[in-house]
Amino acid sequence: MTETLLRGRLLTFHREPLESSDTEAHTYLEDGGILVRDGLIVASGPFAEVVREAPEVEVVDHRPGLMMAGFIDMHIHFPQVQVVASWGAQLLDWLNNYTFPAEGEYANAQHSRAMARQFCSLLTDHGTTTAVAFCSVHKASAEALFSEAADRNMRMIAGKTMMDRNAPEAVLDTPQSSYDDSKALIADWHGKGRASYAITPRFAITSTPEQMEMARSLAAEHPDCYIQTHLSENHAEIAFTAELYPEARDYLDVYETYGLLGPRSLLGHAIHLKEREIGAMAETGTHPVFCPTSNLFLGSGLFDDAGLRARGITSGIATDIGGGTSYSMLQTLNEGYKILQLQDQKLHALRAFHWITRGNAEVLGMTDWIGTLDAGTEADIVVLDPRATPAMALRMEKVETLADELFVLQIMGDDRSIAQTYVAGVPQKGA
């Protein structure tokens, strides 16, 4: 048995804050304690109370750091770690010029494993403890990522990308091989330890109807798997999809036709939506995923958070590395704030930090395991330093409220603000 007591300021959410003054939505303690035993949180609350449960336990004192649930990244591309910051293209050109050539290298299992080690370290260095990841088309890439995550006891949701057209030969599979490889990966990894599988047709452009039928079969056979793909990121993408699927009512109808919508379906971007698509997403409980740094970098458009929320749709938020430009969920919130500002929408700091913790866990249906500091949940914890840089420290001299402090972290924070990250109770930074 391993047991540790973490001490510091503590913030955890119970529901989404309605506004910045909604203090009932969270618990904040100036001197909090989190008792961790064998990878789980067994108690959290005021330090003086928690320490009585284990008076002899080792105390790791993070004061004045702010302890929160680890961040959750809802849409990220594992094989794109070496194409971040590739200059000068919009979505389809960017995929052809940069992404597909890089992903071709992941046929090599040794390369995949080396990149998986760096990928997982980059996540935890930035405070991210759970990710929903696209692997390459190669079975070896998914095996490498799941294996690395298992070695760290890190919660990972991932899938082998399915794509059988409109890409170079090195990153194509076939309808049958995509089914067979996905089926084998599900058998080997889904529900094992902290791994979950996501059925992963990249997007309608790179899958034939025959392959979409295979995705439908996988989803029907494994209803407890997630489904991840892309939707309506870019106008040229939407037009090309309409050419390839002329019988579809709209882009979303492609996925709808093949039974790929529902509460476990995660659709990256979802920017340029028609009214019918919004209605279908609301009716089926399908979740869009907001990828602000990617949307700005690729010039894709502005995500209508308020419009979707008004229809009862719950969205995730994500980095979308490597179209996205930072592994930091703090910087993701920074750019998300600006996108919403351009539409006269607001993202106050309490809702922002709920979004990257409990909010994303709620989208995944995992609030019993991740996203909070509640007793019984997995001990994925981040410790934040709002004075990590001279500029932040100077700004913090004028901060008087928790909401203001969080907003400093939201706008100015990055990996330097992550004092420590715990995955299942094990510290990752400096390990």
Contact (CB, 8 A) for 386 and 395 = no
Residues of the chain with CATH 2.30.40.10: 3-70+371-427
Lowest mean pLDDT among 79-93, 187-201, 406-420: 79-93
Lowest mean pLDDT among 53-62, 92-101, 344-353: 92-101
Rounded Cα distance, 104 and 92, in Å: 17
Element (H, E) at 49: helix 47-50
Q: Supply the pLDDT for residue 353.
A: 98
Tokens linked to 261:
């919508």
Q: Supply the pLDDT for residue 338.
A: 98
pLDDT in tens, 17-42: 988 788 899 999 999 999 999 999 99
pLDDT in tens, 356-413: 999 999 999 999 999 999 999 999 999 999 999 999 999 999 999 999 999 999 999 9
pLDDT in tens, 223-251: 999 999 999 999 999 999 999 999 999 99
Q: Which residue has the tokens 């006269």?
A: 344
* Residues in CB range of 24: below 8 A, 6 or more apart: 14
Q: Phi/psi at 6 (nearest 5 deg)?
A: -95, 135
pLDDT in tens, 112-169: 999 999 999 999 999 999 999 999 999 999 999 999 999 999 999 999 999 999 999 9
Rounded Cα distance, 58 and 233, in Å: 49
Predicted TM-score (pTM) of the model is: 0.97
Residues of the chain with CATH 3.20.20.140: 71-364
Third-level CATH fold of 3-70+371-427: Urease, subunit C; domain 1 (2.30.40)
Mean pLDDT of 185-189: 98
Mean pLDDT of 296-309: 96
- Kindly indicate the confidence band of residue 277, based on its pLDDT and cuts at 50, 70 and 90: very high
Q: What is the mean pLDDT of the chain?
A: 96
* Residues in CB range of 60: below 8 A, 6 or more apart: 4, 5, 6, 7
Mean pLDDT of 68-90: 92
Percentage of the chain beyond pLDDT 70 is 100
- Is the per-residue pLDDT at 431 higher than 80? no
- Is the per-residue pLDDT at 176 higher than 70? yes
Third-level CATH fold of 71-364: TIM Barrel (3.20.20)
